[in-house]
Structure formats: structure tokens, C-alpha cells
Amino acid sequence: MYSKKLARLAFGLLAESTFKCPLTRSVSSVRTLCSWTVCLHHRQKNPLSEGFSRRLTRLNVRTVSQTTLDPAEVRKFQAMASKWWDLQGEFAALHSMNDLRVPFIRDNLLNVHGILQLGKPLAGLRILDVGCGGGVLSEPLGRLGADVRGIDPVEDSVRTAELHSSYDPDLWERVRYQACTLEELAEEELEGFHAVVASEVVEHLADLDAFASCCQQVLKPGGSLFITTINKTNLSYVFGIVAAEQLLRIVPSGTHDWEKFISPEDLERLLESFGFYVEAIRGMMYNPLTGAWSWQQSTAINYALHAIKRKEEPQPGQVWAESENLDEPGRATNYS
């Protein structure tokens, strides 16, 4: 129960702060307050030992979650929840990030599964969008034919997402939203998804191990995990914390905690320990003048990662359980 609240709080951070690029536009003061408060608690976690820190953060979670569920704050979140789909608003860069992440997800899934239907390249695939917010990424994936489930612990974001997708009967059939946490979902949907997308989420989680474990549970064997997040380097400190938060004040102080950024090497090591193998890592860069993202060689600031869940080897006497469309000729199927 406590871990659920922790995860809920952690995912709540996603809805509270804007996209996680270092050069974001202005953020509402309410969001600042909540994220700052939680960041403070998380900063305190570091010098303590694992178990003690977990208890401490649990206590902090309870106090902070009471603050989060304050009706006044919730009303303000509602006001902010409507901003998800303002293409010129605070989430504009998140919308323009779709130009990179949708082709990234689409092409990697097509490499694995092949194109089944013209006009709907992702038809037949079940995708889970973790921390979907207002559905900014879920909708294009739905339009490409995938069966998308978007989850987010903040109910208002989920309502906004539902309302926005309700106008289009095509989307309404293919994209469904649920206000819950990944752990709650993991209990119901064991091995239920062909792909999990966690875009701009992992830099706000307290417990990456739990996240990786849940992803491993909900994915079918051979399924794909897509993550976009921020690297933990001097450069990301300069751009993400110093420039964005302190110098230019594009992002209020405390929105990002540099300690919670994770480098691609560490993330890769973590995922490998949970039964994934990392297939691709690519660097991304945001240009604040044009408002556009582009791929780049260096993963120093933002990066995107594609990992695949290893398939199990058949045990003697057991039935080989494998869903269709997941043949991967040439890939080693060793179980880590």
C-alpha cells in the first residue's frame, strides 16, 4: 500500500511538472509548490540508508499526499489539466516532441513486427502509455492503429484526455484511459502488452526498480519498452538546472532534481538486471528558438531508449507460451 502511494506520488510529479526537457516554458506556481515540496523530500533521501530512507519518504509521502489531495490544489490542477491541448501553451514542446518519439516507437515496432495493414501500421498491437497526462502521445499511437491504454494517477489529466479523444470515433475505439498507477495495472494485466511507453517519466520516479519490475510484468515476452528521459551529466546540469531554473528562470527552482536524472548506461544496467536487453539509445535535442526537437549523436542531455524483454527458454515439460507476431529471427533467446 505504501509503495502504491509512493508510486502514485512519483507519477503525480509527471502531471504536475511540464515535459522534462531542460528548456521548458513557464510553469504554474501551484505545480512549483507541490513539485518543490516533494523534491525537497527526495533530496533528503540521499544521505540515508535504503530502508530508513524508504520509511522516511513513506512518512513524507503521507504528509505530502495529504497536501496534494487538498481540494484547492486539485481545483488548480484542473485549470492546468485543460492546458494539455493548448498547442501554443506550456506543453507545446511536449507536442513537438511527438515528431521524434512517434516515429521512434513506430519504426522500432515495425522492425520487430512488420507492417500488417496499410494505413494502420501499428494495427493489432497493444501499447501501454505510462504517465500519459493529457494523452499527447497516446492519440498519435492510436491513430496509427494501435490499441492504446493510457494510465496516469492524476484523474483530471485522464478526464482531459478522455474528453479530447471523445470527439473522434476512431480514437474513442482505440485509446482508453485509466486513472491508476502502474503497480495497480500490473496486477491485472500480466504479460498483456506488446509495448510499454514511459516518456518523460523515469526522471520523476523514486523507485526505478519497482518501475522496471512492473514493466517486465506487463510486457509480453519479446515486447518493447520505450523510455525518453534526461541524462545525468554536467551538461544536463548546466542546461537543465542552472540555465533553465536559476539563470533564465524558464523552469521554477526545484522542478528537476539532478540527482534523479539517470544516465543511459545506468538505465541500461538496471533494465538488463530485470530481463531486458537495450536495443537502441539515441540522443535528442530541443531548440528553444524554433520549438523543435531533433535527433543528435550525443546523449548528454535528452535521450530515447528502446529495450526488449527477453523471452524465456522453454522448460522441459512446459508449454511454450508465446503470442503471435513476435517471431524474431536471429535474436538470441537466452534468459538472464
Partner 1 sequence: FKIRKECSKQELLRILSSASENQLFDIIISGGGMVGTAMACSLGLDPNLAGKKILLLEAGHKKEMDGVPETYSTRVSSISPGSATLLSLGAWDHIANMRCKPYNKMQVWDACSDALITFDKDNLQDEMAYIVENDVIVAALTKQLQTLSDHVKVQYRTKVVKYTWPRPYHVSESIPWVQVTLANGKTLQTKLLIGADGPNSMVRREAGIPTVKWNYDQSAVVAVLHLSEPTVNNVAWQRFLQTGPIAMLPLSDTESSLVWSTSHQHAEELLQLNEESFVDAINSAFWSNENHSEMVETAGSLFRTTLSVLMPDSGSARQLPPSVAGIGPKSRVMFPLGMGHATEYIRHRVAIIGDAAHRVHPLAGQGANLGFGDVAYLTKVLSQAAFNGKDLGKSMQHLLEFETERQRHNLPMMAAIDLMKRLYSTNAAPMVLLRTFGLQATNALPPLKEQIMAYASK
Residue number, 115 or 235, with CB nearest to partner 1: 115
How far is it, in rounded angstroms, from Cα 221 to Cα 112?
12
Least separation in angstroms between CB 167 and partner 1: 5
Which residue is it, cell 535528442? 284
How far is it, in rounded angstroms, from Cα 160 to Cα 156?
6
Eight-class DSSP state of 120: -
Residue number, 43 or 106, with CB nearest to partner 1: 106
Binding letters toward partner 1, positions 194-213, x by CB under 8 A: --------------------
Least separation in angstroms between CB 155 and partner 1: 9
Rule CB under 8 A: say whether 99 interacts with partner 1: yes
Least separation in angstroms between CB 15 and partner 1: 17
Buried b (16+ CB within 10 A) or exposed e, 8-38: bbbbbbbbbbbbbbbbbbebbebbbbbbbbb
Binding letters toward partner 1, positions 138-177, x by CB under 8 A: -xxxxxx--------------x--xxx-xxxx--x-----
- Would residue 317 be called left, alpha or beta, if left means φ above 0 and alpha means ψ between -120 and 50 degrees? left
Residue 300 — φ and ψ, nearest 5°? Answer: -65, -30
Reduced to 3 states, what is the DSSP secondary structure of residue 139? helix
Residue number, 16 or 139, with CB nearest to partner 1: 139
Rule CB under 8 A: say whether 73 interacts with partner 1: no
How far is it, in rounded angstroms, from Cα 176 to Cα 169?
12
Residue number, 123 or 238, with CB nearest to partner 1: 123
Whether the CB-CB separation of 44 and 95 falls below 8 Å is answered with: no
Least separation in angstroms between CB 8 and partner 1: 18
Binding letters toward partner 1, positions 101-120, x by CB under 8 A: -xx--x----------xxxx
- Residues lying near partner 1 in the complex (CB under 8 A) are found at 71, 74-75, 82, 85-87, 98-99, 102-103, 106, 117-121, 139-144, 159, 162-164, 166-169, 172
